[in-house]
Amino acid sequence: MKKDQVHISYRPLRTPRAAAIAGILYALLSMTIIIIFQVSIPPDSYTGTNWLDEQAGNITLALGLFPFAGIAFIWFMGVVRDRLGHLEDQFFSTLFFGSGLLYLAMTFATAAVAGGIISIYAFDPEMISAGGLYLFGRAMIYKFNSVFALRMAAMFMIALGTIWVRTRLMPRWLALSTYLIALGLLIGISIFPWTSLLFPGWVFVISLYILVLNYRYKHKDGITLEN
């Protein structure tokens, strides 16, 4: 073959139809993390560190799941954007991406602070309570998670709900229920801590719906389509 005769065969890169499973994986991991935290951390955890003697292992397990949940959430964002396709709007996409990435960054910051507390406590239990270090870290965890991260999750949902209402890519009932769940996150977390389960639960439903749509399209009229 001559040097100037180069045959290039390529195939467009496409999103795997099963990629929506990432959202389901994120939801399951996130729910597991939240449940472990809620069960392991006592309501009066601000008053002392004795509970860490029994619960440090459970907290460490939950912290180890954080990176995998974060990776799955990024995949979920990619799946949602792929579904938008040419209907994507720069303004609402900025809100969608910005709030999603801020939510993820703040949850990682929460995990980092919690991991730091566990590490220092394992090294020297007295050091963590000296100088208010424990109280500072505990307050920072609460602020990162309950005040900022979940508000960004609500913003993420509101942006997507607006996109879905305008583009009609999702059923209207699903888009409108997204607004209601986002409202619950905005005001409910201060009243009931288990409200944080609403966001991964919503991601689970959305991912399952997209997954079902993908497989219906793939096997439409009894014909299997290639990815």
DSSP symbols for 81-143: HHHHGGG--HHHHHHHHHHHHHHHHHHHHHHHHHHHHHHHHHH-HHHHHGGGHHHHHHHHHHI
For the chain, counts of helices (H) and of strands (E): 8, 0
Could you tell me if residue 201 is inside a domain? yes
Q: How many CB atoms lie within 10 A of CB 95?
A: 17
Assigned token pair, 183: 């409202």
Helix axes 172-188 and 198-218, enclosed angle (nearest 10): 160
Asked whether residue 10 is domain-assigned, the answer is no
pLDDT for 214:
72
Can you give the pLDDT at residue 24?
93
pLDDT along the chain (227 residues), means of 10: 49 58 93 91 72 83 93 91 75 86 93 88 77 81 86 92 86 89 84 86 91 68 42
Question: Is residue 135 situated within a structural domain?
Answer: yes
> What was the pLDDT predicted at 18?
61
**Structural domain contains residue 224:** no
Q: Are 80 and 97 in contact (CB under 8 A)?
A: no
- Residue 95 is assigned to a structural domain of this protein: yes
Residue ranges making up the domain that contains 88: 20-42+50-217
Can you give the pLDDT at residue 202? Answer: 94
pLDDT confidence of residue 109: 92
Number of domains in the chain: 1
Q: How far is CA 106 from the centre of its chain?
A: 11
C-alpha distances (whole Å) from 114 to each of 33, 72, 210 are: 13, 21, 34
Return d(Cα 81, Cα 94) in angstroms, integer.
Answer: 11
pTM of the model: 0.82
CA–CA dist 39, 62 (Å, integer): 11
Instruction: Tell me whether residue 6 is in a domain.
Output: no
